[in-house]
Amino acid sequence: MQLRGSVAAGIDNVQAAEAMAYVARHAGVTVPVLIEVDCGLRRAGVPRGPPVLKLAKQVARLSGLHLRGVFTHAGHAYAAQSPAAVARIGRAEGEVLVETAASAASSRHCVEIVSVGSTPTARYAGAVPGLTEFRPGNYVFYDRMQVALGAAQLEDCALTVLARVISRPDPGRLVIDAGSKTFALDRGAHGTDALAGFGQAPAQELVLERLSEEHGMLSRGVDPRSVELGDRLRFVPNHACTLANLAEMLLGVRGDRVTELLDVLVRGGGR
């Protein structure tokens, strides 16, 4: 499979397509669009089969838009109960989209882009012949959620939080200087609540149990001999995407050396 990048607007509704075409014509541009197919997440998207063909026909008629293909996102894989279930959802994601693309092509619609995307399903959906693009995003960092889904190991997780123990009200209770404004409150993606706690510190085998906005609290399993006030603990977060979105800057580190400052752009709604 040869992969290509592309930018296009997602469409799942003729009303939205008409409004977009109207604006495009007035601006004198042609907007590339992909039809979003719902492969099971039940978020946005058109059901596979006839509804896709019907919308493709309607969109193809609109000047101002250029229909380039179809896409889907198997976000329901985040609610899977086992790596086998992730694999099943991933294969279905690829197959549903390739079948949809084939029937659209046989109706003479342009389907040069056939695009799937989600990190846990990438290795399964991506193996289905006929796709031209996949869009896993989380894989850049991985996180505790991906580990729980079998998509990565803890040591693969590249984005961590270094937090300091700032209070120790009793020997078995720690407070760190990072809370929900650093870690976010995700315990899964797309509304799943799969994980216990909000991050884990593998070296000390500790789980971050409770978050206020600027404080994190730990008590279970704290060994008073292994952690001191002022120590820094390195946490693997539950969800790297929302965590990165909360930071103005990430530090690139090799060993103990900071080698890069990475600005986090396009967050906070922009201006």
Which residues of the chain form contacts with a copy of itself (CB under 8 A)? Answer: 12-13, 15-16, 19, 38, 42-46, 75, 166-169, 173, 175, 180-182, 184-186, 189-191, 209-213, 215, 217, 229-230, 241-242, 245-249, 264, 267-271
Q: Please name the residues in contact with 184: beta carbons below 8 A apart, sequence gap of 6 or more.
A: 237, 238, 239, 242, 243, 245, 246
Distance between CA 105 and CA 253 in Å, rounded?
Answer: 47
Minimal distance, residue 79 CB to a copy of itself, in Å: 11
Q: Nearest approach, Cβ of 115 to a copy of itself (angstroms)?
A: 17
User: Which of 1, 229 has the CB closer to a copy of itself?
Assistant: 229
114 vs 208, which CB is nearer to a copy of itself? 208
Residue 245's nearest CA partner among 182, 187, 186 is 182
Say how far residue 131 (Cα) sits from the centre of its chain. Answer: 19
The minimum distance between CB 174 and a copy of itself, in angstroms, equals: 10
Measured from the CB of residue 44, what is the shortest distance to a copy of itself in angstroms?
Answer: 4
Both tokens assigned to 61: 């008629």
Residue closer to a copy of itself (CB basis): 128 or 227: 227
Looking at the Cβ atoms of 29 and 265, the one nearer to a copy of itself is 265
Closest approach, Cβ 186 to a copy of itself, in A, equals 6
User: Closest distance between a copy of itself and the C-beta of residue 99, in Å?
Assistant: 19
- Taking the least distance from each CB to a copy of itself, the nearer of 213 and 256 is 213
> Closest CB to a copy of itself among 21 and 46?
46
Please state the closest distance from residue 181 (CB atom) to a copy of itself, in A.
5
Using the minimum distance from each CB to a copy of itself, give the nearer residue, 170 or 256.
170
